[in-house]
């Protein structure tokens, strides 16, 4: 019965046009606020998905590293047990060391990552090679290397460079005089076969070369710094991650998920999302003042109806609920219109990308990415209902406390 009264009060003709106008202004305000909140959250979803996919090309689903120190000798029994686990698609071993690259008069300190032939099955780095190729299956007289575009630019070397680049790694456990620095490091020549373009932080830091070459150069023969793992599509990820953590601990190693490898990144993405949600929710709260005004005018408009209902024996609580339901109904209609508007804008952006990013092609994508999630729609609708319920309390209480005034003229 409460909803029936609320619907009649919303739909019914008002004695003054101002009440009708204020009601529709309230609906419009909630519609705009709802649409804005959903669109912005969808854009954040798009950026979050894009960034996660970008980083997933470099960071594996599981990375096993030493608890202490940088390197370890892989245990054969561990590798066998890993391969026998159901849900494991590929396993790769790698070694990372900081080295000095030199080409002509340019020098760059970067991380040289030695990878085996299974690495491209664990990550998707090969698809990010923009110039040349990333193929270490056959090694010529001069070892191949793939540089990040940041390293490539600073060195002035690329896959079209006629000369190889020199790489220096300081020897371990040697005490060398400053007068004989040549004995303090190992050096090797590398031929640039490719340049990748992924993300600025990675592009400026990492170069890739065959694992055994890096092991020899850095005096880490038979040692690695990580075991990187990719899951199959039908893997039970949560249980498999737990099992890998327990198995790694038995060999005094630690297993980290993609989230644990990038805690700061994921924290920032989540924090920014909730910060934007809070700011736009404040906008909805401001818009809800229209609900207060609309209901206050409606209470004045329906003062005679309130007196009749009270005279017929309706309780104060029922009258309060009628006006609260009317306020929630106004907001819900506005939110529904906002959801339709937001969905239309997001679909158009997905199809045509009409809202472009600035930067004249300096970004990896041209237009703002958009990804709609039903959880966002549900969250926004609940937010609108809660705000509308709170905004309707004061006018509804005033309506319930109106005295009975029935006068025969």
pLDDT in tens, 304-328: 666 666 666 666 666 677 777 777 8
Q: Is the dihedral of CA 59, 64, 67, 69 positive or negative?
A: negative
By 3-state DSSP, what share of the chain in percent is helix, strand and coil, each rounded to 5? Answer: 55, 20, 25
For residues 291 and 67, the model is more confident at: 67
H helix or E strand, kind and range, residue 208: strand 206-210
Q: What is the pTM of this model?
A: 0.73
DSSP assigned state of 138: S
User: Which of 11-20, 53-62, 187-196, 309-318 bottoms out in mean pLDDT, i.e. has the lowest?
Assistant: 11-20
Q: pLDDT averaged over the chain?
A: 83
**DSSP track, 83-128:** HHSTTEEEEEEEEEEEEEEEETTEEEEEEEEEE-TTHHHHS-GGGG
Q: What is the pLDDT of residue 358?
A: 67
Please say whether the beta carbons of 62 and 241 come within 8 A.
yes
Distances (CA, A) of 124 to 62, 121, 329: 14, 7, 50
Element (H, E) at 224: none
pLDDT per position as a tens digit, 125-154:
888 999 999 988 876 788 999 999 999 999
Contact 258, 54 (CB under 8 A): no
Least confident of 1-5, 171-175, 311-315, 396-400: 1-5
Q: How confident is the model at residue 302 (pLDDT cuts 50, 70, 90)?
A: low
> Cα separation of 364 and 199, whole Å?
9
Q: Is the pLDDT of residue 281 over 60?
A: yes
So what's the pLDDT on residue 248?
Answer: 93
User: Residue 295's CB: how many other CB atoms inside 10 A?
Assistant: 28
pLDDT score of 327: 78
Residue 107 has pLDDT above 90, yes or no: yes
pLDDT of residue 311: 65
Average pLDDT of span 222-240: 91
DSSP states along 237-298: HHHHHHHHHHHHHHTTEEEEEHHHHTHHHHHHHHHHHHHHHHHHHHHHHHHTHHHHHHHHHH
Q: Which pLDDT value is given to residue 208?
A: 96
Burial of 210 (0-12, 13-18, 19+ CB in 10 A): buried
pLDDT in tens, 174-202: 555 554 556 778 899 999 999 999 888 89
Residue with token string 């305000």 = 29
Q: Measured between alpha carbons, how far is 297 from 229 in angstroms, rounded to an integer?
A: 65
Q: What is the pLDDT of residue 192?
A: 94
d(CA 123, CA 92): 9
Q: Model confidence over 25-34: pLDDT tens digits? A: 888 888 998 9
Mean pLDDT of 352-379: 79
In whole angstroms, how far apart are CA 244 and each of 81, 89, 224, 233? 10, 14, 18, 17
What is the predicted pLDDT for the residue at 9?
52
Residue-range domain boundaries for the chain: 2-55+266-400, 62-261
Which pLDDT band, with edges at 50, 70 and 90, does 166 fall under?
A: very high
Q: Considering only residues 395 and 63, tell me which one the structure prediction assigns the higher pLDDT.
A: 63
* Rounded Cα distance, 392 and 385, in Å: 10
Percent of the chain with pLDDT over 90: 41
């Amino acid at each position: 019965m409460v909803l029936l009264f609320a619907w009649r009060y919303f739909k019914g003709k008002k004695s003054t046009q101002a009440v009708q106008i204020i009601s529709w202004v309230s609906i419009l305000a909630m519609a705009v606020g709802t649409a804005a909140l959903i669109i912005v959250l969808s854009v954040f979803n798009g950026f979050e998905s894009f960034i996660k996919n970008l980083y997933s090309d470099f960071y594996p689903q599981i990375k096993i590293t030493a608890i202490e120190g940088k390197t370890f000798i892989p245990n054969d029994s561990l590798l066998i047990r890993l391969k026998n686990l159901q849900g494991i698609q590929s396993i790769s071993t790698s070694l990372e060391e900081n080295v000095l690259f030199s080409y002509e008069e340019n020098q760059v300190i970067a991380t040289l990552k030695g990878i085996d032939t299974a690495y491209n099955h664990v990550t998707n780095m090969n698809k990010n090679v923009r110039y040349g190729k990333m193929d270490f299956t056959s090694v010529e007289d001069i070892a191949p290397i793939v540089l990040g575009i940041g390293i490539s630019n600073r060195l002035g070397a690329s896959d079209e460079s006629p000369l190889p680049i020199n790489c220096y790694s300081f020897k371990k456990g040697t005490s060398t005089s400053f007068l004989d620095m040549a004995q303090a490091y190992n050096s090797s020549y590398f031929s640039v076969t490719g340049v990748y373009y992924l993300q600025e932080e990675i592009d400026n830091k990492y170069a890739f070369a065959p694992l055994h070459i890096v092991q020899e150069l850095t005096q880490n023969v038979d040692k690695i710094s990580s075991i990187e793992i990719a899951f199959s599509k039908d893997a039970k990820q949560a249980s498999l991650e737990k099992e890998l953590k327990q198995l790694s601990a038995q060999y005094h190693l630690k297993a980290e998920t993609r989230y644990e490898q990038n805690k700061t990144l994921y924290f920032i993405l989540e924090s920014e999302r909730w910060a934007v949600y809070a700011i736009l929710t404040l906008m909805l709260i401001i818009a809800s003042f229209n609900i207060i005004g609309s209901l206050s005018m409606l209470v004045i408009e329906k003062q005679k109806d309130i007196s009749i209902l009270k005279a017929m024996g309706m309780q104060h609580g029922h009258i309060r609920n009628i006006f609260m339901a009317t306020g929630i109904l106004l907001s819900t209609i506005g939110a529904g219109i906002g959801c339709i508007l937001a969905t239309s804008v997001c679909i158009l952006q997905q199809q045509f990308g009409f809202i472009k990013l600035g930067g004249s092609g300096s970004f990896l994508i041209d237009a703002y990415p958009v990804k709609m999630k039903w959880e966002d729609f549900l969250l926004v609708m609940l937010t609108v209902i809660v705000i509308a319920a709170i905004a309707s309390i004061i006018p509804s209480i005033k309506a319930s406390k109106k005295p009975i005034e029935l006068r025969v003229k």
